[in-house]
């Protein structure tokens, strides 16, 4: 009598067999990969030591070595004192598998992923570097962090939610500083202009949203999943999202601000005067951010136009001065 749910030669049995076969093949491939990695990093290793590391029998290790040899990888075994398993000196991965450029691009991409604390990248990178016979993949260093808190408590769970397609719950701080509870379907993490964003379908607002990670609090990944894809919408630019009008500023900046002028403005927006000062003409969305941005230059910047921005900045500065003088603003 067959167990419940068992169908002889039917789709249930076939599907189970296929899945089991796939898992077995994947486990063996991973094990073969691990053996080559170990041999590339150690001159000689015993079958017993490999078996302990891979958590298999010594007999299984010998079968894997035979498979590697049959695949053209020069693995040698020597018996007796000082013997063991080793690779032919100078062996690297067959260059016909990937071109030099492809190898370099893969390693560089993985090296960049380390910055977002991807554990798979951390584990795979040195192994692929050893297999490719390369040690030059560290030419690029990417650092997305600020000088303060990295806010990994937000990024890591969101990455998991995007990959596993799970609904997230969190509190979001709006432009007015008020918090609101949100439930969203996270579709993509996006780094743009020094900031991380989350592209998502907001279930709370029943609309597409781009959330700034620095404004997200108490992120929780739920067990609920979703089917929606990011191809269903054309995403707006977060810098211009919403009905904000743009304002064209004319700024005059002192020579001491030269480093920020060249860092933050395009050459076409900059005119350098004979006295070393700068005239910058640039357009920004007109909201509270633009006033804070101009004030961040301190006494090194002056708004020449438009008049209403100049006047609003004067009012803000007077209120600030009143607070420092002990007056209510």
Reported as a single tens digit per residue, the pLDDT across 54-84 is 888 888 888 888 887 776 677 877 776 777 8
CATH topology assigned to domain 158-232: SH3 type barrels. (2.30.30)
Is residue 281's pLDDT more than 60?
yes
Is residue 133's pLDDT more than 70?
no
Residue 160 banded pLDDT, cuts 50, 70, 90? confident
Helix runs in 55-118, H state only? 58-70, 100-113
**pLDDT (average), residues 240-265:** 83
Q: How far is CA 130 from CA 103, 121, 122, in A?
A: 11, 14, 14
CATH topology assigned to domain 246-324: Alpha-Beta Plaits (3.30.70)
DSSP codes joined into one string, 247-258: EEEEEEE-GGGH
**Among 17-21, 244-248, 265-269, 315-319, which is the least confidently predicted range?**
17-21
**pLDDT (average), residues 164-189:** 91
Distance CA 298, CA 260 (A): 12
Residue 156 banded pLDDT, cuts 50, 70, 90? confident
Domain definitions of the chain by residue range: 11-87, 100-139, 158-232, 246-324
CATH topology assigned to domain 11-87: Arc Repressor Mutant, subunit A (1.10.10)
The greatest distance separating any two alpha carbons of the chain, rounded to the nearest whole angstrom, comes to 97
**pLDDT (average), residues 159-175:** 90
**What is the reported pLDDT for 250?**
97
| Residues pairing with 77 in the sheet | 85
Is residue 204's pLDDT more than 80?
yes
Whole-number percent of the chain with pLDDT over 90: 29
Residue 100 banded pLDDT, cuts 50, 70, 90? low
Residue 102 banded pLDDT, cuts 50, 70, 90? low
**158-232 matches 246-324 in fold:** no
Q: Nearest 10 degrees: CA dihedral of 27, 32, 38, 41?
A: -130
Positions of E strands within the chain: 75-78, 84-87, 166-173, 179-192, 195-202, 207-212, 216-225, 246-253, 270-272, 278-285, 301-305
């Amino acid at each position: 009598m067959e167990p419940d749910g068992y169908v002889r030669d039917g789709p249930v049995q076939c599907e189970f067999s296929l899945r089991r076969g796939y898992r077995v093949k994947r486990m063996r491939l991973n094990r073969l990969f691990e053996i080559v990695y170990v041999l590339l990093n150690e001159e000689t290793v015993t079958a017993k030591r490999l078996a302990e590391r891979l958590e298999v029998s010594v007999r299984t290790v010998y079968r894997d070595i035979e498979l590697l040899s049959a695949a053209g990888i020069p693995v040698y075994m020597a018996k007796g004192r000082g013997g063991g398993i080793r690779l032919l000196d100078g062996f690297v991965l067959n260059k016909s598998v990937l071109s030099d450029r492809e190898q370099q691009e893969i390693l560089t991409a993985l090296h960049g992923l380390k910055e977002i604390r991807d554990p798979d990248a951390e584990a795979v990178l040195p192994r692929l570097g050893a297999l490719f016979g390369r040690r030059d993949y560290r030419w690029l260093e990417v650092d997305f962090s600020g000088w303060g808190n990295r806010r990994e408590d937000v990024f890591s769970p969101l990455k998991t939610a995007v990959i596993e397609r799970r609904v997230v719950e969190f509190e979001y701080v709006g432009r007015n500083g008020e918090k609101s509870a949100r439930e969203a379907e996270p579709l993509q993490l996006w780094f743009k202009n020094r900031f991380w964003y989350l592209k998502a379908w907001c279930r709370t607002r029943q609309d597409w949203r781009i959330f700034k990670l620095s404004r997200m609090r108490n992120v929780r990944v739920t067990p609920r999943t979703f089917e929606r894809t990011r191809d269903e919408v054309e995403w707006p630019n977060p810098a211009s999202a919403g009905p904000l009008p743009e304002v064209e500023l004319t700024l005059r900046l002192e020579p001491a601000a030269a480093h920020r002028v060249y860092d933050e403005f395009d050459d076409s927006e900059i005119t350098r005067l004979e006295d070393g000062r700068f005239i910058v003409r640039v357009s920004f969305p007109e909201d509270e951010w633009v006033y804070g941005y101009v004030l961040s230059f301190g006494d090194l910047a002056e708004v020449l136009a438009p008049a209403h921005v100049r006047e609003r900045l004067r009012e803000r500065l007077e209120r600030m001065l009143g607070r420092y003088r002990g007056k209510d603003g």
